[in-house]
Amino acid sequence: MKSVHLGAARLACSLLVLAAADAAADELAFGLRAGGNYSDNVERVAVDETSSSSAIVGLDLNAQREAGRLLYDVFGNVEYQDFFEDDIDAETFGQLYATSSYAFVPERFVWGLSGSFDQTRRDLLRPVAPGNVDDVYTLSTGPQWTMRFGSALESTLEAHYMLADYGEQPFDSDTVGGSLIFGRRQSAQRFIGLGASVDQVSYTSDDTLADDFDRIEYFLRINAQGARTALDMDLGYSEVESDSFDDDGPVFRLHATRTLTPALSAFFDFVQEYPTSGGASFSAESPPQLGTDSSVLTGAPRKSRDSELVLQVRSRRTEALVSYTAREEEELETGAQRDFDVFTASATYSFAPRASLTLYGRLTDEDVVAIQSDETIYGGRINLRLGRLTTVSLRIEQRSRDSDDPLAEFDETAGGLYLRYGSPSGAEGWR
């Protein structure tokens, strides 16, 4: 079962990427890069630091199609590192997210498919480092059927199958479920309705201690889009139940965007729920960077509260992003808790027609089962365009981590030189 699930998830991600790459007329940006990296503490440990260089090969991809029967949105940034130190195994870092849908009957019958490749830390008390990352694949697919009653009333019946596959951790799971929503559509941009959903989550690993569980949600849905503001919201109540636990509480999902000025945009997300296997989800305005920590407390049953605020500036010569992300999680079977707060800022300034400078920083405060850790990252990158599609980048970065667990602390200085071929507006980010 494990190999079947993993193969299906990988295949789905590959097909979505190929579909995007095939549509040259739609928005597509990509880049291939190669180069070298050096770190004076490559394993990010407190004692017996090992310095090492590494060879790097990477791919970044950003593609959208927003019209026609086939719609998709793909973002990826993946990098393979082969370390010159014999005692350190080669490692892959990055993320790949893809969502798509095909309208067999426009505005009536649609089939969706989404997939992702992501990573989590095996040991949450240690930082992201070679040997402490676990690959996680997800796949989600299912139909959606919309029926109209008169000029304004409509109902949507949706069914889905979702899976999550972990490379090492025993949290592989399947989710089967569906939802029914009935409401009033005032226009193509405005909808309000009532809905309910049912999901059954089953864990497929033989050695997992997680219990299968059922989840029921009742909610009010509001979708509204104006010239400068978009709002999507679910507000309601949720119940979860298994053989060993049951819990209930409010469910809230909010995604809001606001164009403040032609150059300044704001994005806000807030989600409070009992997660299931999950499908691919990402925010294109705040894409993951190499080294982004997507870790969760556990793949077992849990309740979570996530919020993110992003401010983004785009002008002719400057791009800047400031974000704050907070996550609170609690495992339902043990009561273990994790709090995670991160503040990120980055800015790119084009000081010449073929040259730009990027500065970035990230502050992280994490509390895992009463063990607190603070991590600081800051650095910079200079990009020099040699031609229309060729860029040379030089990066320098400093990381440090303080923790209640002395063995989780580290200091690292790293740098690298890379050659990238691809669209100037690609998805490459700092790592």
Do residues 418 and 35 make contact, with C-beta atoms less than 8 angstroms apart?
yes
**What is the three-class DSSP state of 150?**
coil
Question: DSSP states of 52-114 as a string?
Answer: EEEEEEEEEEEEEE-SSSEEEEEEEEEEEEEESSTTS--EEEEEEEEEEEEEEETTTEEEEEE
Residue at 48: amino acid letter? D
Q: How far is CA 29 from the centre of its chain?
A: 19
Question: Look-up: residue for tokens 């309601």?
Answer: 236
Q: What is the pLDDT of residues 360-389, one digit of tens each?
A: 999 999 999 889 999 999 999 999 999 889
What pTM, to 2 d.p., does this model score? 0.86
Q: Give the residues across from 71 on adjacent strands.
A: 101
10-residue block means of pLDDT along the chain (431 residues)? 51 50 62 94 92 93 87 89 90 89 93 91 90 91 93 93 91 94 89 96 81 95 92 96 93 94 93 80 50 81 93 90 93 92 92 91 93 94 91 94 94 95 67 50
Residue whose C-alpha is closest to residue 266's, from 215, 214, 202, 310: 310
- What integer pLDDT is reported at residue 353 of this predicted model? 87
Q: Give the residues across from 187 on adjacent strands.
A: 190
Do residues 156 and 181 make contact, with C-beta atoms less than 8 angstroms apart?
yes
Question: Cα–Cα distance between 127 and 368 in angstroms, integer?
Answer: 12
Do residues 182 and 193 make contact, with C-beta atoms less than 8 angstroms apart?
yes
Do residues 423 and 407 make contact, with C-beta atoms less than 8 angstroms apart?
no
**What is the three-class DSSP state of 359?**
strand
Looking only at Cα atoms, what is the longest distance across the chain? 72
Do residues 175 and 197 make contact, with C-beta atoms less than 8 angstroms apart?
no
- What integer pLDDT is reported at residue 94 of this predicted model? 87
Do residues 371 and 339 make contact, with C-beta atoms less than 8 angstroms apart?
no
CA angle 287, 162, 207 (to 5 degrees): 105
Do residues 384 and 412 make contact, with C-beta atoms less than 8 angstroms apart?
no
Cα radius of gyration rounded to whole Å, the chain: 22
The two beta strands, 27-39 and 52-65, are antiparallel
**What is the three-class DSSP state of 5?**
helix
Residue ranges and CATH numbers for the domains of the chain are 2-422 (2.40.170)
Question: Cα–Cα distance between 412 and 47 in angstroms, integer?
Answer: 12
CA angle 248, 254, 260 (to 5 degrees): 160
Do residues 205 and 236 make contact, with C-beta atoms less than 8 angstroms apart?
no
Q: What is the pLDDT of residues 29-38, one digit of tens each?
A: 889 999 999 9
What are the backbone dihedrals phi and psi of residue 260, each rounded to the nearest 5 degrees, phi first?
Answer: -80, -45
First to last CA, the chain: 34
Question: Cα–Cα distance between 356 and 36 in angstroms, integer?
Answer: 20
The two beta strands, 410-422 and 27-39, are antiparallel
Number of H helices, E strands in the chain: 1, 20
Residue at 430: amino acid letter? W
Question: Cα–Cα distance between 199 and 210 in angstroms, integer?
Answer: 16
Listed in sequence order, the residues at least 6 apart from 196 whose beta carbon sits closer than 8 Å to its beta carbon are 179, 180, 216, 217, 218, 219
